[in-house]
Structure formats: C-alpha cells, structure tokens
Structure 1
Amino acid sequence: MSNDTADTPAETGDEQAPEPTPKPSAEKTSNKLGNYGAAQIQVLEGLDPVRKRPGMYIGSTGLQGLHHLIWEVVDNAVDEAMAGVCDSIVVTLQADGGCRVDDNGRGIPVDPYPSGEHKGKSAAEVVLTVLHAGGKFGGEESGYKVSGGLHGVGVSVVNALSTRLEIQVDRAGVRYEQTYLDGGKPKAEMKPTGETPPSGRETGTSITFYPDAGIFQAEGTEFVARTVIDRLQIMAFLNKGLEIVFKDERAEREQDVTFQYKGGLVDFVKHLNASKEPLFSKVCNFEDEDVEEGMELDIAMQWNTGYHEGIHGYANGISTTEGGMHVEGFKTALTSVVNKYGKEKNLIKEKDANLTGDDVREGLTAIVTVKLREPQFEGQTKAKLGNVPARSFVQKATYARMVEWMDENPAEANRIVKKGLAAAQARDAAKNARNAIRRKTALSGAGMPDKLKDCSSKDASESEIMIVEGDSAGGTAVDARDPRTQAILPIRGKILNVERARIDKMLKNTEIQALITAIGAGVGDEFDVTKCRYHKVICLADADVDGSHIRTLLLTFFFRQMREMVEAGYCYIAQPPLYSTEIGKEKVYLKDDAAKNAFMAERPNHKKQFQRLKGLGEMDWEELRGTTMDASTRTLLQVTVDEAAEADHITSVLMGDDVPSRREFIVKNARDVQNLDF
C-alpha cells in the first residue's frame, strides 16, 4: 500500500482532460501542401511512359539503348524460329538511317482484336501500341511453346522511340501494311495492299523503324555494323540451322554476311576457342529433354590450355550473364563427375582433397542453353534465371551424360583431370600469395598502398579512384582532384597481361597488388563487389597508343579478375582531350577527331595549327581538372559487358598468343575505329 499523498484525479474526483497536442495552423498546412493535389497526379497513357523514361525500358539512350531497339525486333523473329515456323531472318541497315528486319514466320496476326478497350483494332496495332501486349502469355495454346521475347519490353517500345515505323505482314497470300509516326501514332488503320508477291515469302513480318534523334541525342542514331553483326552471329549459333542475313546499304557499308550453323553450339564453342589452344580436339556436346516439365537442354564444352573459365548461359535464347539455376546445376554436376573419374582412375589419390569447381573449370569454354515454358528471370535485364526445377534437370542430365562421355573418351578425360590438378597446385600457390599480401598489409598498418592518395569520403557510392599512368601524371592528378571524393593511384608503366598468366604469378606483380588492395574487394573467385571502396574505377591514361595499351591491360585485368565490378557498371575510361587550339587568348580543348571536325565546320576560317596532346603531363593541374577530372565538365566512358561470350572471345583474341586471329580481328574492325594514333 502506497504512502504517496499527492493529489491525483482518482483521489480528488476532478475530471482533468489530458493536454491536447498542438495542431499546425491551417496556414502552415496550406503552405506545406502547396498545389499538390489530385490535379498533379499524372496518368501516362499508351506509349507515353516509354518516351518519358526511355532508360527504364531499353537501359540507356546511348548506343547500347539504340541497338537494343534492333534486338527487340529480332528477338520476336527468333521466337518464331524457336517455334519451328521461321528459318530465315534478314537485318538491313538502310541508307536513309532506318533498320529493317524481315522474317518468314507466320506473320503478326492482323485480324480484329476481340475484346476490351482495344476491340476492333488490328491485333498487330495492339502489339505495336500497347506495352506488354503479345502472343506469348498463354503458353503453348497461344502458339509459343517457348519464347524469349515474353520478358522483353517488346516492339511497342521500338515504335514509341521511333519517328517512323512501317510494318508489312504477309498472311494467307495477302499483304497488309501500316505506318506509325512521331512515337507510335498510327497514320491510318492496318489495311491489305494486295497479294503477297509470288517470288517472295508466303508468310512473314517486316518491320522498318527510324530511331528518334531527340531521344538518342547523346550518341546519335547511327548503328554500328560490327555491334549488330556480332549479336546476329551469336543468335545464329544458338539456333541451329537458322539463316540470319546482315545487309548494310549505307555509304560506308560493311560487307553483307550470312550466318547459318549446322553444328549449333558445337560451332559456337569452336568459335570462342579459335584464338586459344584446345586441350583436345573434341567438343563434348549433348542434348536432353524433360517432356513433363517442358524443359530442353543443349550443352557444348571444350577445355583449352588457358587459365580462364568461360561458361555462358542462355535461357530461351536470352543471355543470362549472371548465370542462374541452369548454370548452377551444370557446375555442380561437372565438379562431381570429374572428381569421380579422377578417384576411380587413381589420378586423384584417396588421401588428396577433391578438386574444387574452379580447378575443374580452369580453361573451360562451355555453352549451357535451356528452353522453358515459363522462364523466370530476375529483373527486367534478364541477367539470371530463377526457375528452380531447371537446376535439378540440368544437374541430373549433365552428370549422366558426362559420365558416359568421359568413359568413352579416356584420353580426353585424363587431360581434364590433370589440368584440374595443375590448377589446384596453382590455387595453393595463389593462396600463399594472397596470404603474403594480407600479412604485408597487416604489418603496414592502414593496409593501403603507399602511393595511393585516398579520398576522405567513406561512402563508396560517391567515391572514385583514378588509375593514372606514371608518377608525374599522378602528381598532377593529385593537385587537380577533389580530395573529398577522388582518390589517385599512380601505376608504373604497363601492368602484367593477365590473359597469359595464372593467378599465382599475377598476384606477385607489384602494380596488381596495389590495384587489388586499393579497390578492397578481393580478386578472382574471392572478389566481392559489395566491398568495392569506390563505385567509379577510372582508367586515366594518355591519348596515344601507349595509353591505349595500358587501358587495355587494365580492362583485361578487371574483366578476368573483377568481372562483377564491370557488370555492376563501376568501370570507366577517362577522356583526356586529343587536341588543343586557341581562339584569341583562350585555349580550347577538343576531345577527338569528330570534335575537331565539328569545330572546323563552325569556324572554317580558323587559322591556328592544332596541337595534338599525347601526354597528361603536357597539361598543368588546372587544365587537367577542367578537361578531364571535374565531374561537371568531363566526359567518361562507362565500360559494360553486353554480350559476355563475345567479350570473352575478343579479350582472348586481343590479349592472347594467337597473332593471326588478332590481325584478322583488327582488319575486320578497322572501319569502326574512331581514334587512331600513328
């Protein structure tokens, strides 16, 4: 019982209401709300969302997004091929700036849409003007057993981002045509224009589109022939027997080319390994099917004498650059089979540890493709396959078929195991090298390289590191930087070419040690992109041939040993100016030959000799800051990996030991060179 005698409402009987919470005045509330009401809520109709935020649908409004328009149209044609109703696709870059895609599939339906707000419109018009409209949502009953276009943004987005789109459909002997203008507005209804030409296809679709220069103003609307050719070649590899023709009708035309591969994935693997030395001549290839689950599998693989793994996964023809369930199942089975064989043949002693997956996959080039009824991709980018049943299906099929293959090919199987054993020895040496680096950094206190001039910010999202060629340029860059967000790491000369070296040798290189330590996320199979200390890793080298070589060596290292960082979009190339000139007393810097030509077009009477800048050391720190390092005035090129298989192949060609392949690549791509140094 309390002895507290203080008065309380219960003891006195007084009715005391609690103190009311002060309310903001009506005036303050009105000021806070401002004019934000129902009238400010916008509903974007039709294709307006695409034009408002194009990057959400095609990734960017640069060259990558521009070419994405072609992929969307071609993917629809490839879906017809996967359905077994199309065997020819023609892609033409027209002289007037348009792109035309022809296929001999069934032709987009043109009959009236049966219901809803689009009732009565041609089905083709619905497909071209409504987001997420198409014939791939109803499974096999809708005409598509499998498709890749289902999770794409569709041809409607191509229409939205074009000033003009023309469609031609051939069905049942009749040709239908329609034109759209100004971002997807139909000029008239879809109408029959006559009979299908007797010499042409019986059925099919042709789409011609002209990208909107107002949308793609950053890098223009000129398609790059080599980019298109490389992508079409991969599509032909993935669709055995499909003929894909590339035509270029422009003035500076690329030679027309036809792709058709009877060997499919086997030819793909041979192509990727062409610049490497195969461990053996045979390509292991097998197919399997789960009829009940509606899944199909096609795998081809071959080892080479190199040190890098190249496994490329595809689901319904879509490149899954981040892997997924099908790739996981393949890797698990492969590791088990090779260890089983090695133990049975006494190549791996009972007392020895099993080979790891990394050991088994060293030097492996493999294509893992699956076809599924309802593919589940993680995110709009379709980078990772999420269908769990695909993992067990691929794992079981790979295990069974690889056991058979290794038993039937003992010479090749022995080489696979022995290469894995050599990789295991190198892994142990690399582990010792890593531990030596860790011990060294632990003894040095802070652990950062002595020559790193770090930024003060600890927020990786706003921090950047500039890798600068040479101590002299590094000193200028230190003076020019923003010390809060910009770190400077000078490197001496050209780093080791990691394409030709195992990781144990690589980790002994002083410059590479400094890079690994500064970035702070590990290396190789231990790399963790979430631990990157900077979200911009910028290569800053001279605008000459030596600078280009240094950039290439750095990019090879990042692609091979820190690939997740490249895929995350953290890797950049700085663009120091190539020329300077004077207007009066003012010095003007020009990024490249295109900028110089544009300058001369505007000032045809300009009399000064342009000075070609080859060294960062030729600029003082104010000039370096204003032209190359100041975030408000500089230009950075972001390095991306659009097609992992082709990126793997090009890296091997350019940085490997096969000189004839490198020469052939340079000859083929000479037309696309923009900055050439003599």
Structure 2
Amino acid sequence: MPESYGADSLTVLEGLDAVRKRPGMYIGTTDSQGLMHCLWEIIDNSVDEALAGACDHITVTLHTDGSVEVADNGRGIPVDVEPKTKLTGVEVVLTKLHAGAKFGNASYNAAGGLHGVGSSVVNALSSRLDVEVDRDGKTHHMAFHQGHPGVYTDADPAHPSPDSPFKRTRKNKPTELEIIGKVSPRTTGTRIRYWADPEIFNDTAQFSYEQLIDRVRQTSFLVPGLKITVIDEHIPETGDAGIDELREIDDIVPPDATNDTAADTSATDTDAADDATAPLLDGFTEAAATSSSAGSAAVAVAKADEAGHTHRRIEEFCHTGGVKDFVDFLSNGEPVSDIWRISGQDTYVEETQAVGENGELHAQKVKRDCGVDIALRWVNGYDTVIRSFVNVVETPGGGMHVDGFLNGITKQIRKTVEDNARKLKVNLKDPAQKVERDDITAGLVAVVTVRIAEPQFQGQTKDVLGTAQVRPIVTRMTDKQFGEMITGSKRGYKEQSGRVLDKIVGEMHARIQARKTKEVTRRKNALESASMPPKLSDCQPGNDDVAELFIVEGDSALGTAKAARNSAFQALLPIRGKILNVQKASLAQMLSNKECAAIIQVVGAGSGQSFDIEQARYHKIIMMTDADVDGAHIRILLLTLFYRYMRPLIEAGHVYAAVPPLHRIALAGSHKGEFIYTYSDDELAGKLADLDRRHIAYNPDIQRYKGLGEMDADQLADTTMDPRTRMLRRIRMEDAAQAAGIFSLLMGDDVPPRKQFIVDNADDFDRSKIDT
C-alpha cells in the first residue's frame, strides 16, 4: 500500500532555504561554473552602480582564506528601514528573494542584476557573508551564516572566519546594523566578503583566475571610465614596496610606473591549508604561480594595498574607447576594414507587471528606452567572433539583439552585392551564387550591446536575451547605419566597403567551389586521381598516413625529383616561378590563380572556413625550392597561402621546408668517392678549415648548386628527399603568427610602413647575407 498523502506530507521551505535545497535553479550548477556565477552576481551589482553613474571604481580581492571580497564606491546599499518588512535595506537585499531596487526605473534604468535574487542567493550559498556599507558618515556592518543574520565572535577580528562561533538572530526579530566606524559624509560604497559553502559546492569546484580576469577586462570595455582592480593575495607578501606593477599598453599606467618585474611568483599558503573553504580557491593559487600568458592584462606586481600589505599581483583595467576598443582587442589578423560603429537610441512599448503603492501587482504598458552600441570589423581570417551583452551582462547564446544585428547586415550586404554584381563578378542568374550568412560572418569581429530596463532573459543565468521588441530596433538601426557604410555612401568608407565585399564574395565562391570539388579532391580510386591536375605526379594510393607532397620549384627540378623520389609515398607538384601574393589579393583572385587553385585541389581539404584537415590527402606538405633569394621568396609566398587559407595544416605541424645544400665538397685521397654537403658560406668555410686541420684532401673545385635542377637524382635523394638522410625544417604555428605581421608589412598594399621599415633597418643590413 502506498503511504498516505495529506497536508502533513507537504514541506514548506521558508526564506533562503529553498535556494540551499535547489541551488541549481539559481546558479545553474554546483561545480566551478556555479562557483564563478556567484562571483558574477556580486560584481554585477557593483557594475550596475557604475551604469547608474554612481560608481567609478570596483576592487575584487581574493583572500588567502578562501573568501572573495567585492568593494565599490557606489551609493551603498540602503541602511534605513524598509516599511513593509520592517527590516533594514541591507537585510532585505541579502535575505529576501526578488527584493531590490531594479523592479522599477527610479534607481536603475539599465542593470544586469534584474531578478532581485543575486545577492541573496550568494548569501544563502555561503558559509559566511560579511557586508559593510558606507553611508551617512558611518560604516555599517552585518554578518550572515548560510543566509541567516547574526553575530560572529572572531578570535581575531582582523581575520574573520566562517568557523568562528555564531549566534543567530531570533526569528522575526529585526536585526539592527552595527555601526563600526565613521567616514566622511561624502564617502559611500559597499563591501561584500563571502566564503563559498563547501556543503553546497562539490569537490571539483574551483575558481578560475583567468575567467575572472577575462570578465573584468570585458566589463572595463563595456563601461568606459570604470576602473576595476583585482588583488590576488594567494601570492604571499614580499615586503618589497619598491617594485611597481606592470600593465599592458591598453591599461591605465600611472606616471611613476616602471617595467620592473617582481622577483618570485611561486607561493605556498600554509595559513589556509586547514580551512574548509580553501580548496574552492585552488584554481587561483595554481594560476598565480603559473600565469604568464599574453592574455593577462598585467603580470606579477608588488604594491602596497590600503591595509599596508604588499602583494605580488594587482591587475587594473580601465578603458575609455568602449566597444570600439573591445573589438580591437578581439581582432586577430590583418584588418580588412576599420572598426565601424553603429549606435543610437529608440523606444518600444512593453506590457509588464507594475508594483502598486500597497505592493500589489497590476498590468500596465510601459514605454522603454533601448540604447544600441555595436562595433564591428572584418579581418582577413575566416573565424567569427561575435560577443553580445545586455546591460554589460554577456549573453553567450545571443538573442534578439544579435538576431537583429545579423538580419540588418545580411540584408544590406545581399542588396549591395546584387547592385554591384558585374563589378564583383557575381552571376545573378545562377541560384547557387547567393551570399549566405556564413560568407558574411567569416572573419567578422563584432561586439553587440544593448541597454534596456528590465530585459527578459531565458533563465537566471542570462544566456539569451528574450525581449522581442529589441530585434526590430537593432535591425532598423543596423539597416540604416551599416547600409551607408557598406554602400560607400558614407564619407571615407568606399575603399573599405569594396574590400569587405570582395572578401565576402570570395568566401561565397570558395564555399561553392568547395562543394563542387568535395568528391573529387579525395584520392580513393583511379578515377578521382585522374581528376587531379595533369602536372601532379601522384604517389601510390593506400599510404595516406605517410604520404608526402613535394611542391617543387620549376620543371628542371621536377625531372630530377621524379628519379629521386620513392613513388610509393612521395608525390610531386611543380609550380612555375612565384605564385600569387595572396596577402594583398582577394579570395576570388586567389581561387582564379592556377597555381594556388592546383595546390588547394591537390591537398584535397578545401580552403578557408571550409577547410577540413581530416580530408587532407598527404601527411606532410614539403616546399622544395632553391637555396637562394628567389627560392626563399617562393617559400614565403607558399607559406602565406597556407597560413591564410589552410592554417590547420601549419597548426598540426604538417608543413615543412626542404633544406637543400648550397655546396658539395668532393673528398680525395683515401676518402675519394665521399662527399660533404654544406648549407651556407660560413659552414663551408668552417668545414674546409676543419678538413685542412685534419689533413684530409679534397677537390679544391667546390661545386656550388644554383638550383635543385643542377643535382643528379642520387644527390637530391640523399640531401633532400630520402627520409633517412634528408634535412627538413618544420613550420610551426608560432613562426607563422610572428611572420603574419611581417607579411602584412612587407607584402601588403600599404607602402609607407614598408618604406619606413627599410629606412629604419638600413643601418643594420648585413651584406654578408646576400646570396651571390
């Protein structure tokens, strides 16, 4: 028999107990993601003060005892009594769900924390939370344990602990704020310090220092002029107050800042070893000891904080350029256009539930303001980077604002392509030649932000904006302003819009071409091999895991290479001279170039955004060019092609450069018939000196190779093609990334920087490096 089911079977969870019972409903998960979400809630409340114009500095401190503190110089949480609950504003905000000043428009016109649960949820999921508020010339303090107000008795007030004795305030008794100090009447702000509760979060939950820095950096972009400081106390005090902090160029640097680096970044934290909450911050400790990536906004620092302690790492962020600076930061690659800006203000009407004087809810239509601020640019790559935000809260899933933006640019680009079809070489009668959204977003970097009151999100985690009225506003604004830019009717945009359209149409042609050649570029049978370029000397099928493609310079070298290769796994593709410089050519021009098209077809994995390395027909791509200046130039042109349109090959380490010798020394006497190859003039001189010292005879008529065609098959095999004896140079991704800037400088369209580079480096020119 089933148990009886009556009213006594029901459980009523009061206050914040429901949050502790079902934390996933409020923070998503109880792992690292949920742990970080709690921090975002507290930071977002301070950022909302900045959006309201009441705050210009936020400090986030990571304490060694596992706690996190967020301080701002905003207005401070209200400390007076709320009439309905008879509780102080501080207690209402931190203990009551769906309570706050963001349900109306009086205090916050646009805010990130809108559901009134952020601070109270963090309080409920913390083993301890302390809040201090500066208002009315006084500093007010209150403490909580798992969401319940009360008083802690700390053995050392300077080092509060969640394990200290706690006396809970009696139920239904108003809790008075404790006044612990005095401040200037003009000083206001809020400081919240909390210890995440290990009873709630699982053992794998860890804070991520890198996520914190990324979030703080993006917030500083989105709220121009807001300074955010992150202090990491997990790196121990050094007592060295004379070392100033290092910051990146895009951060504010004080006039007295220097570029001295702090001495030691390793650390152990014995004080927090026994603390129950310390494991939740292990990720910070590890990052503090190892972080040296270029993505950090600042490196190890030493600077005294307000309490007189000296910390190794203090990172500060402040930007004044807004989303334009953000796009510049996110851009990775050679720009095709400048950063374009779309911004404006519009209104919409929304039916919502309003709170009456007596606390009752009633429906009413409200006129809302919608502020739009978008920055975008195209770069020469094919990756898409679109970051979207509502009131500085990121919406990773996009939403109505992103849909409106993409609808606007898609409409305008398609219309402009149709209007300029002849110039762009687009056949409007061919239904396949239609620009798709993927063609448009290839290489697009954009930041889309809107500011509205009481936005509708899908869930408390705010991943997707659901306010439908925002989409047509963003679409209309994008349609008008972007339309003026892409058509070139706006002054200064004609040349840029031309480059953008060339890129987009080139992406369209590449997609169409990839679709057409998808089945014929994979070597599976003799029929497909026959479809390859006739000049390809392919290897035998069935050796894909070891197959090598040699890109050979010239027909004379091809003849020798055919005799020198192992046809079981080595294929040859000759190229005639120097291929197209794809750095300053459009995608359409690249695809129409016979040499470039042949290389892409033979490799068999597509190009650009459609490139699939799993479809590559060869395990190694080897550039085999002469050991002279022309050969080096050809290698640069080939590398530019691979880097721009087949980059995964370089990232996976499949691209190599053969290293052919420059000289051959024929030994004489007892060593007759033996040969020594050298690869530079310096090596030749050193080798001859060594032979003379060892009294080994050699033919003084040193053979110098002016090209691969001068070698016979045995020589070419021994030095360049036989895996047992050859020398290859692997092209690494970091090499290509470093060279990208040089490619742009020396091979791009912009002449003045190239001229200046030559002038600046003329005095350092080494004539001995000229190949004669």
If the length of structure 1 is used for normalisation, what is the TM-score?
0.58
Contact 2:604/2:617 (8 A) holds in 1: no
Q: Secondary structure at the match of 1:658?
A: helix
What's the offset of the Cα at 1:435? 7.0
Contact 1:316–1:370 (8 Å) recurs in 2: yes
* Equivalent position of 2:230 in the other structure: 246
Instruction: Name the CA distance, whole Å, in 2 between partners of 1:318 and 1:286.
Output: 19
Write the distance in 2 (CA, Å) between the matches of 1:175 and 1:343. 66
Q: Would the alpha carbon gap of residues 397 and 179 (structure 1) be closer, same or farther in structure 2, given more than 3 Å must change?
A: same
Shift in alpha-carbon separation, 1:247–1:654, aligned structure 2, 3 A? farther
1:218 to 189, 193, 203: 203
Q: Secondary structure of 2:448's match?
A: strand
Q: CA deviation at 1:309?
A: 1.6
- Kindly indicate whether residue 321 of structure 2 is the aligned counterpart of residue 263 of structure 1: yes
- Which secondary structure does the structure 1 equivalent of 2:343 belong to? strand
Structure 1: distance between partners of 2:738 and 2:19:
46
Distance 1:511 1:205, change over 3 A: farther
2:335 matched to 1:278? yes
Give the match for residue 90 of structure 2. Answer: 124
Which of residues 607, 612, 616 in structure 2 aligns to 1:506? Answer: 612
Q: Hey, what does 1:58 align to over in structure 2? A: 27
Q: Is 2:217 the counterpart of 1:233?
A: yes
Mapping of 1:618-629 within 5 angstroms?
A: none
The 5 Å alignment of 1:34-433 reads 34-115=3-84, 119-138=85-104, 140-141=105-106, 143-151=107-115, 153-187=117-151, 189-193=175-179, 196-198=182-184, 202-220=187-205, 223-251=207-235, 252=267, 253=288, 255-273=313-331, 275-280=332-337, 282-291=338-347, 293-345=368-420, 346-348=422-424, 351-352=427-428, 353-406=433-486, 407=488, 408=491, 409-432=493-516
Residues 19 and 26, structure 2, Cα contact 8 Å, conserved in 1: yes
Structure 1, residues 148-199: CA drift from partner, whole Å, max 9, x if none? 101474111111111110001112222211011244343363425255434x
- Once the two structures are superposed, residues 30-52 of structure 1 have per-residue CA deviations (whole angstroms, 9 ceiling, x without a partner) of x1x31433222111111111211
Give distance in 2, aligned partners of 1:228 and 1:77: 15
The 10-residue stretch of structure 1 (207-216 or 341-350) with the greater mean CA deviation from structure 2? 341-350
Distance 1:178 1:654 in 2: 54
Asked if 2 retains the 8 angstrom alpha-carbon contact of 1:176 and 1:190, the reply is no
Q: Is the 8 A contact 1:236 1:260 kept in 2?
A: yes
Could you tell me how far 1:331 is from its partner in structure 2? 0.8
CA distance in 1, matches of 2:61, 2:605: 36
Q: Taking structure 1 as reference, are residues 323 and 434 closer, same or farther at Cα in structure 2, changes over 3 Å only? A: farther
Cα deviation 1:411-448 (Å, max 9, x = unaligned): 1101100000111012113333667899x9xxxxxxxx
Distance in 2 (alpha carbons) for counterparts of 1:63 and 1:225: 12
- Does the aligned pair in 1 maintain the 2:605–2:617 contact within 8 Å? no
Equivalent residues in 2 for 1:474-553 (5 A)? 502-506=608-612, 509=615
TM superposition shift of 1:124: 1.3
Change (3 A) 1:166 1:230: same
Distance 1:510 1:654, change over 3 A: closer
SS in 1 for 2:87: coil
Unaligned 5+ segments in structure 2 are 152-168, 170-174, 236-266, 268-287, 289-299, 301-312, 349-367, 525-544, 546-602, 619-647, 653-731, 742-772
Aligned to 1:658: 737
Amino acid at match of 2:737: D
Whether the 8 Å CA contact 1:430–1:503 is kept in 2: the answer is no
- The AA in structure 2 aligned to 1:347 is K
Contact 1:165 1:210 in 2 (8 A): yes
Letter of the 2:423 partner, please give it. Answer: L
Does structure 1 conserve the Cα–Cα contact (< 8 Å) formed by 2:604 and 2:616? no
Distance 1:228 1:201, change over 3 A: farther
- Correspondences of 1:21-36 after superposition (within 5 Å): 31=1, 33-36=2-5
Q: Which residue of 2 aligns with 1:467?
A: none
Q: What is the alpha-carbon distance in structure 2 between the residues aligned to residue 86 and residue 240 of structure 1?
A: 12
Aligned equivalents of 2:415, 2:131: Cα separation in 1: 56
Is this contact kept in 1: 2:387–2:448, CA < 8 A? yes
Amino acid at match of 2:95: T
Give per-residue Cα distances to partners, 1:533-590, cap 9 Å, x unaligned: xxxxxxxxxxxxxxxxxxxx99x99xxxxxxxxxxxxxxxxxxxxxxxxxxxxxxxxx
The 3 A distance-change label for structure 1 pair 211 and 148 is: same
Deviates more, 1:258-267 or 1:351-360: 351-360
Following superposition, the deviation at residue 499 of structure 1 comes to: 13
Counterpart code for 1:125: E
Q: Which amino acid aligns with 1:265?
A: V
Amino acid in structure 2 at the alignment position of 1:506? D
Task: Tell whether the 8 Å contact from 2:391 to 2:449 is kept in structure 1 after alignment.
Answer: yes
Could you say which residue in structure 1 is the equivalent of 2:256?
none
- 1:508 CA displacement: 6.4
Please report the TM-score for the alignment, with normalisation by the length of structure 2. Answer: 0.52
Contact 1:162 1:184 in 2 (8 A): no
Return the index of the structure with the highest Cα Rg. 2
CA contact (8 A) 2:388 2:398 kept: yes
Relative to structure 1, the CA distance from residue 238 to residue 511 in structure 2 (aligned partners, 3 Å threshold; closer, same or farther) is: farther
Contact 2:369 2:452 in 1 (8 A): yes
- Name the count of aligned residue pairs: 431
Deviates more, 1:366-375 or 1:187-196: 187-196
Amino acid at match of 2:414: N
What is the Cα deviation at residue 57 of structure 1? 1.6
CA displacement at 1:502 relative to structure 2: 2.2
* Unmatched runs of 5 consecutive residues or more in structure 1: 1-30, 441-469, 471-496, 513-552, 558-652, 663-678
CA distance in 1, matches of 2:516, 2:606: 20
Residue type matched to 2:108 in 1?
Answer: Y
Q: Distance in 1 between matches of 2:443 and 2:56?
A: 34
* Aligned-residue RMSD, C-alpha: 3.4
Measure, in 1, the Cα distance between the counterparts of 2:49 and 2:403.
29
Q: For 1:291-323, what per-residue CA distance to the aligned partner results, in whole angstroms no more than 9, with x for missing partners?
A: 564000000011111112222221122222222
Partner of 1:531: none
8 Å contact 2:605–2:614 — kept in the other structure? no
CA contact (8 A) 2:439 2:507 kept: yes
